[in-house]
Amino acid sequence: MTARTLYDKIWDDHVVHQAEDGTCLLYIDRHLVHEVTSPQAFEGLRMTGRKVRAPEKTIAVPDHNVPTTLDRANAATMTEDSRIQVAALDTNAKDFGINYYPVSDVRQGIVHIVGPEQGWTLPGMTVVCGDSHTATHGAFGSLAHGIGTSEVEHVLATQTLIQRKGKNMKVEITGSLRPGVTAKDITLSVIGHTGTAGGTGYVIEYCGQAIRELSMEGRMTVCNMAIEGGARAGLIAPDEKTFAYCMGRPHAPKGAAWEAAVAYWKTLFSDEGAHWDKVVTLKGEDIAPVVTWGTSPEDVLPITAVVPSPSDFTGGKVEAVSRALDYMGLTPGQKLTDIAIDTVFIGSCTNGRIEDLRAAAAILKGKKIKAGMRAMVVPGSGLVRAQAEEEGLAQIFLDAGFEWRLAGCSMCLAMNPDQLQPGERCAATSNRNFEGRQGRGGRTHLVSPGMAAAAAITGHLTDVREIMTENV
Amino acid sequence: MEKFTKLTGIAAPMPLVNIDTDMIIPKQFLKTIQRSGLGKNLFDEMRYTQDGAEIPDFVLNQPAYRKAEIIVAGDNFGCGSSREHAPWALLDFGIRCVISTSFADIFFNNCFKNGILPIVLPQEQIDILMADARKGANARQTVDLEAQTVTTSDGQSFPFPGDAHRKHCLLNGLDDIGLTLEKAAAIDSFEAKNAALRPWA
């Protein structure tokens, strides 16, 4: 039998129909839904009299619009249009009989954190959602990617997706990471290496010792940003850590079904000799804590570097860098550690899980944020929030001067009231530093949770390793 | 979905690389529960000042390009989020075709669901089309989907690639869901087989 990649295997097991031109109908095991990209899809079903084909495989949760302040039960905390969008999801979930975690439910949170947490996401599955960060679920060895609203409607109606198979790309991170270097630094460094279009047309499988050594939380951070490298999906082969994470989750199989599932999951790896269309290898020990300086996730450098000059680039990137530096208010040659920060945001589907909060709290313990700094922690789900409170992390954040919020997407994309003002500069653990992403004129520097915490203490971008040394 | 067959129209040059979906339609306009009406906010933060005044330099505000139907763009157009609001906004403005060296996958796919044709061409040809688009309103380019060609205002023609299924749907304005539901029996049998092989899924 031909050697196959992990992506090939999952693909093959989900093809419902293949047309002569190679277009496939792919079966979808889990469909995650949120309030922003679904209303028009449900409306389409109503207009055509269609039903949701597999409501038991469809899971909805509001996350993008919801306020994360403690008073959010008060409807006045939401703008009228946000309220309408969340109410539409409430109604659609009820009318179509799909699984639902409303804002009032402790299990509510960012859709990509809730899915794995509740055991909906399992190895070998196909998972889609009307959200590009669906790539997150690839950490379980599931084929997971974002889709548009027309495709959301298509999946709701048919439980399938029309797809053409992508190419296989292997990203290997050899060796181990050095202290202070995290999954976020891996995923940003890979994008810095390949560019934001480097993965276009590919599904990435991340592998190598440094990936194996990551926790499930870290693996989710890596896969989450596959899309920022242009790849629709990122994958990591499941292993004992994956099985241990899944075991006992509310929607994971139990008993004999669990044993059968694990036996199948153990077949999910890329065969020796499988064909790769592209291979990228980075040494784990070469990866430093990194930060973005521009308005594209590929604009990434080690924290020890200086702001580059447009003349360091070629082609269309020259103009783009010039525009980015102007937008970001930075000067070529300026040390990255000299960049003063106004706001720190810890959260998002990239870094809103318990391990991320532990990493930030470890830096903040016994310290205060810089006077005048606005700093917030937004846990990825109500259950992450509860666990962080139980572990005493919430108190560390509060003592340091952080706001301790309820769960949601919050300032990652600023659809709720948490926004940057023009010129306001933010160290964020989120995934996109695009112009206007966190608010019109807002300036975003993407970093790991530890780096965000370090910047909150000093008031400027800071090498987290220096604070770690102080803390010893 | 409106058919796409042949289009002759004004092409707006947007050479910036990595034009992302947050630029195409900023998040404050994603709170709609409809598909229509987003054209006035297309490229909102590049097109208007904070007080809503037009920024005269922005290409679609220039008299020659206010009725553009084609955009010739820099690399990696449409990167970022999966928001279909991006093609909805382009369509609502009147854009039916975007030409670039590369597109982000999800955006590329979303275009076809809305009667917009994204065309990938090599850099040398993009350079020629960009120069042609810079000539302004009288320089109309022609996109012929049946023949799979783009032609500049002075008659230089370039073939473009495309897959049969997408071309068929676009030429005929077909609804994907209707086509897939014709394969309901195949979906039923897949589900039956899957229930035995992977009951936990």
CB environment A423-437: b (16+ within 10 A), e (fewer): ebbbbbbbbbbbbbb
Contact indicator for A124, A142 with CB cutoff of 8 Å: yes
**pLDDT (0 to 100) of residue A75:** 87
Contacts of B79 in chain A (CB under 8 A): 196-197, 230
- B163 in contact with chain A, both atoms CB, cutoff 8 A: yes
B17: nearest CB among A164, A316, A414: A316
Contact indicator for A316, B74 with CB cutoff of 8 Å: yes
> Which regions in chain A score pLDDT beneath 70?
472
Q: Is A76 helix (H, G, I), strand (E, B) or coil?
A: helix
Contacts of A124 in chain B (CB under 8 A): 198, 201
**pLDDT (0 to 100) of residue A6:** 98
How far apart CA B109 and CA B127 sit, in angstroms, is 24
Interface of B with A in 134-153 (CB under 8 A): none
Calculate the alpha carbon distances from B58 to A119, A252, B16, B39, B185 in Å.
48, 52, 12, 15, 51
**pLDDT (0 to 100) of residue B138:** 86
Give me the residue label for tokens 């480097």.
A198
Contact indicator for A343, B43 with CB cutoff of 8 Å: no
Substitution target in A18, A132, A163 with the highest count of B β-carbons within 10 Å is: A132
Interface of B with A in 3-62 (CB under 8 A): 15-18, 20, 22-23, 26-28, 30-35, 45, 50
Specify which residues A377 forms β-bridges with.
Answer: A346, A404
User: For the segment B119-132, what is each residue's pLDDT rounded down to a tens digit?
Assistant: 999 999 999 999 99
How far apart CA A115 and CA A89 sit, in angstroms, is 17
Pairing of strands A202-207, A167-174: parallel
Q: Nearest CA of chain A to the CA of B150: how many Å?
A: 22
Contact indicator for A120, A251 with CB cutoff of 8 Å: yes
How many percent of chain B have pLDDT more than 70?
100
**B140 sits in which H/E element:** strand B140-144
CA atoms within 13 A on the CB side of A379: 27
Q: How far is CA A236 from the centre of its chain?
A: 14
Of A235, A173, A245, A166, the closest CA to residue A210 belongs to: A173
- List the single residue in B with minimal CA-CA distance to A201: B105
User: What's the token pair of residue A1?
Assistant: 């039998």
Q: Is B16 exposed, middle or buried (0-12, 13-18, 19+ CB in 10 A)?
A: middle
Q: Is B189 exposed, middle or buried (0-12, 13-18, 19+ CB in 10 A)?
A: exposed
Residues in chain B: 201
Contact at CB, B180 and A150, closer than 8 angstroms:
no
User: What's the token pair of residue A382?
Assistant: 């109500």
Interface of A with B in 93-132 (CB under 8 A): 122, 124-125, 130-132
- Here the ipTM equals 0.94
Contact at CB, B164 and A21, closer than 8 angstroms:
yes
CA atoms within 13 A on the CB side of A453: 31
- B188 in contact with chain A, both atoms CB, cutoff 8 A: no
Contacts of A125 in chain B (CB under 8 A): 201
How far apart CA A248 and CA A49 sit, in angstroms, is 38
Q: Is A33 helix (H, G, I), strand (E, B) or coil?
A: strand
Calculate Rg over the CA atoms of chain A: 21
User: What's the token pair of residue B15?
Assistant: 């050479």
Specify which residues B71 forms β-bridges with.
Answer: B12, B98
**pLDDT (0 to 100) of residue A255:** 96
How far apart CA A344 and CA A451 sit, in angstroms, is 10
- List the single residue in A with minimal CA-CA distance to B200: A253
How does DSSP assign A77-101, residue by residue?
Answer: GS-HHHHHHHHHHHHHHHHHT-EE-
Sorting pLDDT into bands at 50, 70 and 90, what band is B8?
very high
For residue B94, is pLDDT > 80? yes
How far apart CA A218 and CA A206 sit, in angstroms, is 12
Specify which residues A305 forms β-bridges with.
Answer: none
User: For the segment A289-326, what is each residue's pLDDT rounded down to a tens digit?
Assistant: 999 999 999 999 999 999 999 999 999 999 999 999 99
**pLDDT (0 to 100) of residue A252:** 98
Contacts of B154 (CB under 8 A, 6+ apart): B132
How far apart CA B143 and CA B4 sit, in angstroms, is 10
Substitution target in A160, A232, A350, A424 with the highest count of B β-carbons within 10 Å is: A160
User: What's the token pair of residue A351?
Assistant: 């870094």
pTM: 0.96
**pLDDT (0 to 100) of residue A368:** 98
DSSP state of A177: P
